[in-house]
Amino acid sequence: MRMKGVLTLAIQNSPKSFSVQEMIAAKKQKKGPSSSIEKIVPFLLLLTAIVSVLTTLGIVFTLIVETFTFFGRIPLQEFLTAQKWYPFSETQGSYGILPLVSGTLKVTLIAAIVAVPIGLASAIFLSEYASDRTRRIIKPILEVLAGIPTIVYGFFALTFVTPILREIIPTLEIFNALSPGIVIGIMITPMIASLSEDSMSSVPNSMREGALALGSTKFEVSLKVVLPAAVSGVVASIVLAISRAIGETMIVAVAGGSTPNLNWDITSSIQTMTAYIVQVSQGDAGYGTTIYYSIYAVGFTLFVFTLIMNLLAQFIARRFREEY
């Protein structure tokens, strides 16, 4: 006690004792390299934000201008209602977007059927059943799938998945909708699993413990308590994954084919909106031709699809968000 009193008296009598406010004020008045950096960093951050916004506006502006050029040559009604897409016809081509939309939706639907059950099952296992050590091992391995280049997935679909499927379905063509749809589903599974697992892990343990105390099994807690509580994050992850599938390019370009057909046959060759853009971008159409401008109209349609999916994901996340 005597030593403590001596230290307190020394601190009180010290001429260099400062309050916290005085120390902050002195720090602000001090000039040096750190002060200059603190002044420069906000401007750099603002500059990067402005560049991002201007880039987005530039992309949208380019799409709109070139799309209006296309619609100056092809009526909008024909683009939206015609059932044939033959831009390379020797006579007057047909520019009905429906066959490309059909191919895109077929592949996306197959991918969703594959990815949603596997992704949710993986998320439930990682969140509710796996130990910490198992989770630290499995989750990074699962997320490695998201880092594989899509061109590799495309050749995997063409040279590995398609031959196996042809043993099961003899009528399956070399280029089809089923094979790239399955592989795209495998590709987007980590997105659903990872985001859903994060959402489920944020559910308080008290909810799990309460359900278990009432006699629920682990499986019932997972499906009837944790999953409904995390529904906003789960649904948002599914919508974002589907929008990723809609915009996928190389897998469908390699394994899907280049035959735009307005049907729901998954065993025949198809062409998606992204695959058509790749085809024309390879130099099959000259600059300034109608075919050239058609890739901007298709790109704008794809942009609208993706924008709607992202807005839907944000709406669902805000509408059903649970705060604990």
Tokens of 34: 């750190």
Phi and psi at residue 176, in whole multiples of 5°? Answer: -155, 180
Q: SS3 for 91?
A: coil
Q: Report pLDDT digits (tens) over 237-254.
A: 898 899 888 888 889 988
Q: What's the CA gap between 165 and 177, in Å, rounded?
A: 12
Lookup result for tokens 């880039």: 55
pLDDT of residue 10: 46
**93 neighbors 70 (Cβ within 8 angstroms):** no
Q: Does residue 89 belong to any structural domain of this protein?
A: no
Q: What's the CA gap between 251 and 282, in Å, rounded?
A: 16
Sign of the torsion angle spanned by Cα atoms 303, 306, 309, 312: negative
Supply the range of the domain harboring residue 269. 98-319
Q: Does residue 308 belong to any structural domain of this protein?
A: yes
Residue 173 CB coordination number (10 Å)? 18
pLDDT of residue 27: 63
Among candidates 238, 307, 268, 251, which has minimal Cα distance to 99? Answer: 268
Q: Does residue 220 belong to any structural domain of this protein?
A: yes
Q: What's the CA gap between 220 and 218, in Å, rounded?
A: 6
Terminal Cα distance for the chain, rounded: 46
pLDDT of residue 23: 65
Q: Does residue 72 belong to any structural domain of this protein?
A: no
Tally of domains in the chain: 1
Annotate 124-149 with DSSP letters as a single string. HIIIIIS-HHHHHHHHHHHHHGGGS-
pLDDT of residue 4: 47
Q: Does residue 82 belong to any structural domain of this protein?
A: no
DSSP state of 248: -
Q: What's the CA gap between 256 and 181, in Å, rounded?
A: 9
Residue 280 CB coordination number (10 Å)? 18
pLDDT of residue 198: 85
pLDDT of residue 19: 66
**199 neighbors 233 (Cβ within 8 angstroms):** yes
Q: Does residue 117 belong to any structural domain of this protein?
A: yes
Alpha-carbon 189 to chain mean position: 11
Task: Classify burial at 306, counting beta carbons within 10 Å of its beta carbon; exposed 0-12, middle 13-18, buried 19 or more.
Answer: middle
Tokens of 2: 């005597």
Please tell me the number of Cα atoms within 13 Å of 281 on its side-chain side.
12
Q: Where are the beta strands (DSSP E) in the chain?
A: 85-86, 94-95
Q: Does residue 5 belong to any structural domain of this protein?
A: no
Low-confidence ranges of the chain (pLDDT < 50): 1, 3-4, 6-7, 9-11, 14-17
CATH at 172: 1.10.3720.10
pLDDT of residue 20: 63
Q: Does residue 39 belong to any structural domain of this protein?
A: no
Sign of the torsion angle spanned by Cα atoms 72, 77, 80, 86: negative
Q: What's the CA gap between 303 and 150, in Å, rounded?
A: 20
pTM: 0.80
Q: What's the CA gap between 216 and 208, in Å, rounded?
A: 9
pLDDT of residue 54: 92
